[in-house]
Structure 1
């Protein structure tokens, strides 16, 4: 099957959406499918205001449609609600081609955090964007309930996975950990305002706080919190060692739909501390995590969890299962592309 994947989030961005799409693509290709990605790097683009590392493609529906028609896909999936997603949606509707979409991020909350606009002002756009989709892929029950409450139906479950070859308890700790006071409390992810990282940095637990990742808020947070260790973006063995060597993984976000980093930490044997909000309440259980409205309480509780149980729990998430769910939700295209406008 030839699948066209249209996404405004792609490399060199490093975030949960990109990692999910890349991991699922790899699994689908192992299964023999042909995945054609349409991303901002293929078109003229400009930096996103307030978040320069994100590129916004400037492309018309006709130009993107020509590129889509040229590959003659058997199915089209629109992953994001950005300029490329809008152009693909417009072209598919114009030509009567079915497509699927996904709700990866709490887009209304993100816009609200960055602009000060009420999130309720953004929901009509989200509702209109997904309305013509044959299926809206979502990761958790909480997100599906929220989308239904905002008038979005035709929802399908699409879970997440872990690269178990990379993330495991047996990985050597990150080299810098040998010099750090325990317990080591770790955050991994984008360093941006919507991730609520400052709530973690203000906790009062003894030990060392470590931040892995990069983003527009990093410079300001480093200046305000000189005692926090910021390691920047890591990958490969360095990232795996950061997870495996930490004593607790802290997930302060209140706006994530899933939280891929939580299950990577658990697969590495590291327990999770988080707020009892969408994402954590759907993904983790009380025997491998501690959720509390007071993040200090959550950290203290998570440090008491059994690391072997955490690793066993995290190993239950596989990208193969995620890819199979994605594939089952696709809407096959039966029409010809010869006369597509």
Structure 2
């Protein structure tokens, strides 16, 4: 099957959406499918307000339509609610072509954190965007429940996986003191932006050291405000995996993530998780955040959670992550697609 993915989030962006789509493409190709990605790198772009490192396509409609026609896909997936996503949606509706979408991020909450726009209004826009989709793919039960309560329909599950070969315990890294900082080392990985609630982590009174891996619009401000925190910048591949493996606890302060791919990367690296008891961490950890065999601590007091996570056995964390595979995730994705009929492809 030839699968066309239209997304406003793509390289050189570094985030969970891009990693999910890129890894899914790789797994789909291993399964014998052909995958074409239409992303901003194929258009004229401009910087996104408040996110200058993210560029969005300018007036992509006509060119995008030609790309879709030339691709002649067997299935179309619209990954994001940006300029490309809206243009692809208009094309599909105009020619009565079925498509699927995904709800990767809590976009309404992100907008609320940046502008005085009512949450209900933004959700109405997002709900309208997804309404015609054959399937609206979501990562977790909590997000599905929340969206159903807000009037979303046609929701199907699309879980996530983790590369357990890349993200793994590395005793040689810990022994070599990669970070060369006082222990214990409390780590955050992700975008350095207001919606990630990073300051809730940075202001905690914890022993040892705090490390932030990632970049974003808040980095300069937070780095100036918290000079004792080690900001390592964006890391990729082996370098990122080594930073995970060199830490002692992964602290996840976000209250808005729909999944939190970094949670699985941390656990696969043998790193226990400390987070708030909100959607994302609750769905990933579930019962594994309770009892003597827990792999993470969920607590409204993030500092208390971080300290308690120090007592968790890293081996349990690794064992837990081994149950997640990208192969299963890709198969779910395929099962959720709506293949185009011969009549539609010929139109």
Q: TM-score, normalised to structure 1's length?
A: 0.97
Aligned partner of 1:322 in structure 2 is: 329
Aligned partner of 2:270 in structure 1 is: 269
Q: Which runs of structure 2 are paired with 1:245-324 in the superposition (5 Å)?
A: 245-284=246-285, 285-286=288-289, 287-324=294-331
Alpha-carbon RMSD across the aligned residues, in angstroms, is: 1.2
- Deviation (angstroms), 1:60: 4.1
Q: In terms of mean alpha carbon deviation, does 165-174 or 287-296 score higher? A: 165-174
SS of match in other structure, 1:156:
strand
Q: Following the alignment from structure 1 to structure 2, what is the Cα–Cα distance between the partners of residues 40 and 104?
A: 17
- Deviation (angstroms), 1:207: 0.6
Structure 1 segments, 4+ long, off by >4 Å, are none
1:202-238: CA deviation from partner (whole Å, max 9, x where unpaired): 0111110000000010000000000000000011221
SS of match in other structure, 1:122:
helix
- Deviation (angstroms), 1:189: 0.3
Q: Which runs of structure 2 are paired with 1:144-293 in the superposition (5 Å)?
A: 144-170=144-170, 172-173=172-173, 177=178, 179-284=180-285, 285-286=288-289, 287-293=294-300
Are the aligned partners of 1:272 and 1:290 in contact in 2 as well (CA < 8 Å)? yes
- Deviation (angstroms), 1:336: 3.8
Size of the alignment, in residue pairs?
339
1:240-277: CA deviation from partner (whole Å, max 9, x where unpaired): 11111111000000010000000100000000000000
- Deviation (angstroms), 1:176: 5.6
Q: In terms of mean alpha carbon deviation, does 101-110 or 313-322 score higher? A: 313-322
Structure 2's unaligned 5+ residue stretches are none
- Deviation (angstroms), 1:337: 4.2
Are the aligned partners of 1:112 and 1:118 in contact in 2 as well (CA < 8 Å)? yes
SS of match in other structure, 1:231:
strand
Structure 1's unaligned 5+ residue stretches are none
Q: TM-score, normalised to structure 2's length?
A: 0.95
